[in-house]
Amino acid sequence: MVGYAFMGAAHSQGWRTAGRVFDLPLRPELSVICGRDAQAVQAAADRHGWASAETDWRALIARDDVDLVDICTPGDSHAEIALAALAAGKHVLCEKPLANTVEEAEAMTSAAEAAHARGQIAMVGFNYRRLPATALARRMVAEGRIGTLRHVRLTYLQDWLADPQSPLTWRLRKEQAGSGSLGDLGAHIVDLAQFLAGEQLTGVSALTETFVRRRPLPGAQAGGLSAVAADGTGEVTVDDAALFTGRFPSGALASFEATRYATGRKNALRLELNGERGSLSFDLERLNELWYHDATEPDEHAGFRRILVTEPGHPYLEAWWPPGHGLGYEHTFVHQARDLVHAVAEGRTPEPSFADGLQVQRVLAAVEESAEKNSVFTPIAV
């Protein structure tokens, strides 16, 4: 694993747990974790159960005891690490968004496709597909339970930037993060919308805004960032919020909102799908529940009803706790590790593949282009 902050910790938990809960065809071994700060990465190795630590990701890739490289770094290093790992014959898991630019994502996808011919597997980490409730929603859409889709409506609301004094971290600099709430949160809801609908957006119309254009620099970061002013602030070079609409080939309409300024909303990824036969609704802050309205029932007793997604027949639940005991955010990473191990053992390209990650990157680029042109409908390149 390269990177050991929030995502590194979450993925580590997934790798540690997957083989203890699910029967896997291969056993994940946590061989080596990498980060630039020797002391900090050793502490991360000890905490998260990695057998050793490296400070140079090239040294990690060169090791014979590494078969799979899990990339948990900021977006600016995804392409370089993934390309080197694929060239060295390793399988790759890469955190979302796949890259910072369409060009990088294209290079990564070509390399992954060439590597697949040599038996290597590459996957991008859109973990919210792997919640039992969203996986069940996908299953119900595919079974036709809500019929032809009309509306696909997703919002992803957080509030950790609402305070203008909140510092200028790497997530607020384009050269490191690629984009702001768009790549961080919008990428998730674009992937989820397309996963649930079973089709890909053909074009978008967008608005983006940066509400707070300068932010204080924490001392330790000042050295690492360009554009530092004498007043100790630096420029925010990414979007703070992105709103966009889109079209699906079936004729369904989609709407999206991604922001880190929705005060009171901590991790509110909400979705609603309306079809001609019914609707589905989900809120990540209540992630064991999926709400279903069956519009074919008589109006007198029809209505949204709660499906508590904890039954053994629900996706991923066969190996977990008895009904009603519930799962959490971290389980998505366990399921991600499980699905990837199966794909490696079976030699098949897993979903979401790098090609899926590239397609999301193209949607993000179209959103930025549309926003620059005052919401002009912008087709998504195929």
Helix (H) or strand (E) segment spanning residue 215? strand 214-216
Task: Give the angle 31-36-40 at the CA atoms, nearest 5°.
Answer: 75
Retrieve residue 76's tokens: 């600016």
**CB 370 to ligand SOE: min, Å:** 23
Cβ proximity to ligand SOE, 46 vs 330, nearer residue: 330
Residue range at the interface with ligand SOE (CB under 6 A); choices 46-54, 100-108, 183-191, 220-228: 183-191
Distance of CA 94 to the CA centre of its chain: 10
CA nearest to 16, candidates 354, 353, 341: 341
Name 256's bridge partners.
154, 244
Residue range at the interface with ligand SOE (CB under 6 A); choices 16-24, 180-188, 248-256, 294-302: 180-188
Residue range at the interface with ligand SOE (CB under 6 A); choices 81-89, 182-190, 193-201, 211-219: 182-190
Nearest-10 crossing angle of helices 102-117, 78-87: 20
Cβ proximity to ligand SOE, 163 vs 318, nearer residue: 163
Task: Report the helix count and the strand count for the chain, using DSSP H and E.
Answer: 12, 16
**Using the rule CB under 6 A, is 191 a contact of ligand SOE?**
no
Cβ atoms 82, 110 nearer than 8 A? no
Residue range at the interface with ligand SOE (CB under 6 A); choices 18-26, 60-68, 83-91, 181-189: 181-189
Binding string, residues 145-164; x marks residues near ligand SOE by CB under 6 A: -------------x------
**CB 185 to ligand SOE: min, Å:** 6
Query: Which of 184, 191, 272, 356 is in the footprint of ligand SOE by CB under 6 A?
Result: 184
Cα separation of the two ends of the chain: 32
For residue 27, the SS3 value is coil
Cβ proximity to ligand SOE, 140 vs 196, nearer residue: 196
Q: What is the CA radius of gyration of the chain?
A: 21
Task: Give the angle 373-261-209 at the CA atoms, nearest 5°.
Answer: 15
Cβ proximity to ligand SOE, 73 vs 158, nearer residue: 158
**CB 88 to ligand SOE: min, Å:** 27
Cβ proximity to ligand SOE, 84 vs 177, nearer residue: 177
Given CA atoms 168, 210, 188, 156 in this order, what sign does their dihedral have?
positive
Binding string, residues 237-256; x marks residues near ligand SOE by CB under 6 A: --------------------
Q: Which of residues 267-296 bind ligand SOE (CB under 6 A)?
A: 267
**CB 6 to ligand SOE: min, Å:** 6
Q: Cis omega before residue 352 (within 30°)?
A: yes
Number of chain residues interacting with ligand SOE (CB under 6 A): 6
Name 208's bridge partners.
242
Give the number of other Cβ atoms within 10 Å of residue 114's Cβ.
12
Residues contributing to the site for ligand SOE (CB under 6 A) = 6, 158, 184-185, 188, 267
